[in-house]
């Protein structure tokens, strides 16, 4: 029985390896996560804001409302979220004294992933876990800020929060909340917001990190003013 030349066997071996690598490469191209891009400066449509005024936490009957304009990639915002926010939530929001309204104000010139993070939080909100994603983004900020892989890192937060990843991925790929984020940014800019975090309290802007004790004193003062009958 004649044997094939060694050179021919080597050819078929290389051909088989090449075909196998081609299948692997094709599978990678098909299955790999698509790049996430959330556009800025989009045209805001009516549907982007209808029935939505921000991410609100607290009782509808709370006598005081504070609006926070923040950027998930902003270090000062993370400082506020990690150090001051837990006390404010426990002592003022959960006790019914304060209603909190979070608005996105991404600083695109400095923070390339701010809108991706804001959109991830919006997608988490669809599954009832906005504030959990809010905390995860600020708590893990050092791990994803300015990274080319930020979207995949943040997707890991979605997984850890037990979100439906199929729905989350579809939400992120669609960039369906780009207009909502832009509307939030536009709102802050019209009010005079120029940095993050900035807080809107009783018609006045307070830029910079507010200590929880200062917030408590403001809430106490505004509550007393609201409940004191006119003379």
Residue with tokens 């408590």: 216
Q: What is the pLDDT of residue 226?
A: 85
Whether residue 55 contacts residue 181, with contact meaning beta carbons closer than 8 Å, is answered with: no
Q: What is the pLDDT of residue 29?
A: 40
**Domain boundaries 46-227, corresponding CATH code:** 3.40.30.10
Give residue limits of the domains in the chain. 46-227
Q: What is the pLDDT of residue 102?
A: 98
Pair type for strands 98-104 and 64-70: parallel
Q: What is the pLDDT of residue 35?
A: 83
- CA 53 to CA 49: how far, in whole Å? 7
- Could you tell me the mean pLDDT of each successive run of 10 residues in the chain, 231 residues long? 55 56 45 77 94 97 98 98 98 98 97 98 98 98 94 98 98 98 98 98 98 98 84 63
Q: Please, which residues have CB within 8 angstroms of residue 177's CB and are 6 or more apart in sequence?
A: 48, 118, 119, 122, 123, 171
Q: First vs last Cα of the chain: how many Å apart? A: 115
Residue 87 structure tokens: 């006390």
Q: What is the pLDDT of residue 25?
A: 44
Q: What is the pLDDT of residue 30?
A: 40
């Amino acid at each position: 029985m004649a044997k094939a030349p060694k050179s021919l066997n080597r050819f078929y071996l290389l051909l088989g390896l090449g075909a196998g690598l081609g299948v692997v490469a094709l599978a990678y191209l098909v299955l790999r996560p698509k790049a996430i891009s959330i556009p800025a400066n989009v045209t805001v449509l009516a549907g982007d804001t209808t029935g939505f005024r921000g991410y609100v936490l607290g009782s509808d009957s709370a006598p005081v409302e504070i609006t926070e304009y923040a950027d998930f990639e902003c270090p000062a915002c993370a400082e506020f979220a990690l150090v001051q926010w837990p006390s404010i939530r426990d002592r003022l929001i959960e006790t019914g004294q304060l209603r909190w309204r979070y608005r996105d104000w991404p600083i695109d010139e400095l923070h390339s992933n701010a809108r991706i993070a804001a959109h991830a939080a919006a997608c988490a909100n669809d599954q009832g876990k906005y504030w959990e994603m809010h905390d995860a983004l600020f708590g893990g900020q050092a791990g994803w800020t300015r990274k080319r892989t930020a979207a995949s890192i943040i997707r890991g937060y979605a997984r850890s929060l037990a979100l439906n990843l199929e729905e989350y991925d579809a939400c992120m790929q669609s960039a369906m909340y780009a207009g909502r984020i832009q509307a939030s940014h536009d709102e802050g800019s019209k009010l005079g917001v120029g940095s993050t975090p900035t807080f809107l309290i009783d018609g006045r802007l307070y830029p910079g990190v507010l200590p929880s004790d200062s917030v408590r004193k403001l809430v106490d003062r505004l509550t007393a003013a609201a409940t004191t009958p006119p003379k």
